[in-house]
Amino acid sequence: MNFWVNTKQVIFLQINPALLLTLVFLYLFPSAIAAQSIREKNRLKEPGTIIIGDDINYPPYSFVNAQGEPAGFNIDIARAVAKEMGLNVVIVQDRWELIREALENGEIDAISGLFYTPQRAEIYGFSSRHSVSNGDIFINKKNSLGALKNLKGKEVVAQTADVYAEYLLQLDLDIKIIEVGTVKEALMLVDKGIYDYAVVLKLPGLYSISENNLQHVKPAGINFLPKDYCMAVKKENEDLLYTLNLGLHILKASEQYKAIHDKWLGVYEQKSFKDFLKENNWILILVGSIILSLVSISVMLKFLVSKRTRELQQVNLNLQRSNEEIGLKNLQLAESQSELELQLEKIQKQGDIIRFKQNFLANMSHEIRTPLTGVIGIIDILEKTKLSTEQADYISMLRLSGENLREIINQVLDYSKIEAGKLKLKKTDFELTELEKHAYTIFQSIAKDSISFESTIDPSIPARIIADKNRLMQIISNLISNAIKFTAQGKIRFSAQNQTQSTNPDEIVIKISISDTGLGIEERKLKELFKPFAQIHQSDYREYEGTGLGLSICSELVHIHGGEIGVDSKYGSGSTFWFTFKTEMAPASQPVSQQINNQQLEKLKNLRILLVEDKIINQKVMKLLLCSFGHTLELAENGAIALERYQPGKFDMILMDIQMPVMDGITATRKLREMHPEMPPIIGLSANAFEGDREKYMDMGLDEYLTKPLKKEDFAEVINRIMPAFLPS
């Protein structure tokens, strides 16, 4: 049948009785209002050709078949509507976003399938719907979802310009949409496990799973946002819109629409209960079986009632026995009370055990650090001598072993402080770039040539902040060292980001991230990573040494700073360890500079030092080390001898060991200050390295305090910091 409408009259060609009845029906009932309106308003154009566009890859609605021709539900509907209205139609297919642009630019006349939304209705004119469908979230079969709210903060794959992707972005869920060209591409990414979620129209999703044999993806069954699927024209093209509407009404009044619908969509839509019964007549057999089962159940219930009566009688007897048992339980409770009192006594003893452990660790630390002072000191001295290449390698290995031993001691002490709740932050103001420089220094000291270093700092972070710089550097050192351990080649990246969200204007939250391109971590090991003594690789052979305390200590230090610590890793693809800490902007202040004249500067290079130390090996090491710097040294074996050998004006500095026989360093310091009103700086030396030791000894009269084994960098820093105040100007 062909017909068209012009400004004068409506002409029907090749009309048949069935069509006549159909048109009369449309005229008498509301579904035919559009045709009557067109005839009254004479708004249709002369017969001609229209261009209808659609997505090139959106099966079963619109796609290119094996013969290279347009196919699908939308295509058949468009052709059928055009045929009914006597129009020639040209089908154009391209990427979805380009088809929509073509309609908006007037390059095509209509789109055969577009979901209606109020926002789109401001741009397009929509026909009456030719189908209704809803969106769904397609997931990997190993996952589950439950509700849309569970997508909060997730990445979701979607076809470009998809209405359901637009809907998800309107939700307050912080969802990130990953755009791809087709539904097939979206589902294949989920099927392969590259992404966990894809938002797709339900029917194209089911079609794509079936046609592409996707084994690992399924719909979550959420079925949200049902939408009318319509033909669409430009907003001002109302004549064509009326024509398309009329064609759709004619199709729906005949069997053509149902045939097209069932051909493309029927196999994927959920069937009605009536259809289900037609296709599954065995349901009647099942109903009969259920009725028979109900009769059997009725008989069974009578039996169960009788049985239950007997059981209740038994229960009554059991209650009587239970009363007797309750009396016995009361006696047992009395015994339990006694056991609880014993447990309380044990808990009280735990405090004594913890204190004993603290003292034990302090003593062991002191005893280990004392000989380690000699070892590291001799290494420093040997490095200054003329060495062959082989000897230099040996010295390098000795230094690395010594530094590792010192780090192990420090980690054990830190963990002990944390366990006892004695670790306190020492906040100072400093520049954030110092953390970046420290990270690069650690990287340079241990990284291989095959690894590069990158860093970025958020410019919105204040230049100077207030926090415990040394503890933050400790965390960064641990994370940088771990990253280098597990990265054979690639890069290490340091970044600092401003993540302040607090309403408190004085509080700043900074996130530090250390990323690497190394081995990555298996998912099952991530939860255990920050527990004490946990290590990424555990086996009889350990390529990567460590106590297993580093990350645990980092976690505690981060929590003391009011932050969080975590890791993002995929095995085989590298890791990103990150932590946050709360800080505040340091107040503006003028830096205090100490002017040192040339005479003072020369004096700092040739100090006269009185070393008070009882251990012979430490005496030799300190003498060799300090003399190699250009200083002169005189020894005193204990505090009493130091009182005898000290003379005013003879020494520029005193290095005082704390624990010595005859007279300890604190007593000697106090007596020296009583005997001589003017004293050079007295710097304490000890292997005691617990939290608060430095402050405790300085409160007892020392000007500064250094822990053993002595690092030449620490000694140089102390000299440059405190000596200018004691030198004559």
Q: Tens of pLDDT along 498-510?
A: 998 877 778 899 9
If asked whether residues 437 and 483 sit together in one domain, one would say yes
Residue at 385 is within a domain: no
Residue 409 has pLDDT above 60, yes or no: yes
697, 720: one domain:
yes
Domain-embedded: residue 304: no
Pick the residue with more confidence: 598 or 643? 643
Last residue of a domain, one of 240, 270, 300: 270
Q: What is the mean pLDDT of residues 672-693?
A: 84
Q: What is the domain extent for residue 636?
A: 598-725
Average pLDDT over residues 287-296: 80
State the pLDDT at residue 26: 39
Residue 17 falls inside a structural domain: yes
What is the pLDDT, as a whole number, of residue 669? 94
- The answer to whether the CB of 207 falls within 8 A of the CB of 59 is yes
* Stretch 534-542: mean pLDDT: 45
Structure tokens at 605: 């290079």
Helix H or strand E encompassing 312 = helix 282-383
**Stretch 224-251: mean pLDDT, rounded?**
91
pLDDT grade, residue 301 (50/70/90)? confident
d(CA 598, CA 80): 99
Provide the pLDDT for residue 681: 94
Please give the average per-residue pLDDT across 379-394, as a whole number.
Answer: 77
Single out the residue in 531, 558, 585 at which a domain terminates.
585
Residue 221 inside a domain? The answer is: yes
CB 699 within 8 A of CB 719: no
Residue ending a domain, choose from 538, 559, 585: 585
Query: Do 150 and 63 sit in the same domain of this protein?
Result: yes
Question: Range with the lowest mean pLDDT among 148-152, 347-351, 662-666?
Answer: 347-351
CB 229 within 8 A of CB 131: yes
Q: Is residue 417 part of a domain?
A: no
Helices (H), 538-664: 550-560, 598-604, 616-628, 639-645
| pLDDT at residue 2 in the model | 34
Q: Which amino acid is at 201?
A: L
pLDDT digits (tens, 9 = 90+) for 617-635: 888 888 888 888 889 999 9
Taking the model in full, what pTM does it have?
0.41
Nearest to 429 by CA among 393, 481, 464, 394: 464
Q: How far apart are CA 434 and CA 469, in angstroms?
A: 9
Give me the number of domains the chain comprises. 3
Strand partners, 88: 49
Domain co-membership, 134 together with 37: yes
Q: Identify whether residues 513 and 656 lie together within a single domain.
A: no
In this prediction, residue 650 carries a pLDDT of: 93
**What does 212-229 look like in DSSP terms, one character per residue?**
TT-SSEEE-S--EEEEEE
Least confident of 19-23, 361-365, 600-604, 610-614: 19-23
Q: Is the pLDDT of residue 538 over 80?
A: no
In whole numbers, what is the pLDDT of the chain averaged over residues? 80
Residue 211 pLDDT: 86
145 shares a domain with 167: yes
Q: What is the H or E stretch that residue 684 is in?
A: strand 682-686
Q: Is residue 615 part of a domain?
A: yes
Answer yes or no: do 540 and 463 share one domain: yes
Is residue 372 domain-resident?
no
Pairing of strands 428-431, 217-219: unpaired
What percent of the chain lies above the pLDDT cut of 90? 36
291: in domain: no
Residue 533's CATH number: 3.30.565.10
Interacting residues of 427 by C-beta distance below 8 A, sequence separation 6+ = 466, 467, 468
Output the pLDDT for position 413.
62
For 5, phi then psi, to 5°, come to -125, 130
Select the more confidently predicted residue: 96 or 691.
Answer: 96
Q: What is the pLDDT of residues 440-453, one digit of tens each?
A: 888 887 888 889 99
pLDDT in tens, 23-73: 444 344 433 333 333 233 333 344 689 999 999 988 899 999 999 999 999
Q: How far is CA 660 from CA 9, 233, 615, 637, 711, in A?
A: 121, 97, 9, 8, 21
CATH number at residue 8: 3.40.190.10
Position 4 scores a pLDDT of: 33
CATH number for the domain including 718?
Answer: 3.40.50.2300
